[in-house]
Structure 1
């Protein structure tokens, strides 16, 4: 079964790059460009994993993550924060499963996605 991934970033360039990269590995990818849109997409269909940016207008990535973690129906949803922010501790406090830096780790994203999806 193909894993479903929601990529959330306010930069269309970033979402397009991440989508292409993940689709090369066979993942089904949907996009959202704001925290609000991400929450709407998850209400429509829960993905297996979300790749989430921090800095977005409106609801930021930390708040999106906290809201999702507060919902017991979404316990199985895995979240990777992919951001240029350096505040790893805030990301993990919000409830992410993994943290990647856009500038350094983008090429490793498919490998990390695979590892996080295999987590129990």
Structure 2
């Protein structure tokens, strides 16, 4: 059984690229295009890991992360922030497990996903 990954970004291009990259490694990738949609999907079916953008309309990635971390039932959920934002401090303060820059680290994402999932 492959690990379920929820990719959250308001850019369809980004979600499609990330899904393609991670699917090549056998991950079961689901998509959400807003913070609200991500929270709904997590309530329906818990992924093993979430790849989350910061800048989205409505609920941003920091708030999504804080809400998830405030729920003890979701302690096992691993979160990687994949964003163009440069504020690593705010990302880790919100509770992410890893932080990657879209412009630099996208090719490295499958390796980081594997590493974070192995830490569980």
Q: TM-score, normalised by structure 2?
A: 0.99
| Deviation of the 1:15 alpha carbon | 0.1
Q: CA separation in 2, counterparts of 1:35 and 1:6?
A: 11
> What does residue 12 of structure 2 align with?
12
Aligned pairs for 1:1-120 (under 5 A) are 1-120=1-120
Q: Extract unaligned runs of 5+ from structure 1.
A: none
User: Which stretches of structure 1, 4 residues or longer, exceed 2 Å deviation after superposition?
Assistant: none
Aligned residues: 120
Q: CA separation in 2, counterparts of 1:80 and 1:97?
A: 6
| Deviation of the 1:119 alpha carbon | 1.2
Q: Extract unaligned runs of 5+ from structure 2.
A: none
Q: Provide the secondary structure at the position in 1 that maps to 2:25.
A: coil
Q: List per-residue Cα deviations over 1:54-83 (Å, max 9, x = no partner).
A: 000000000000000000000000000000
Q: CA separation in 1, counterparts of 2:9 and 2:38?
A: 9
| Deviation of the 1:11 alpha carbon | 0.1
Q: TM-score, normalised by structure 1?
A: 0.99
Q: Provide the secondary structure at the position in 2 that maps to 1:59.
A: coil
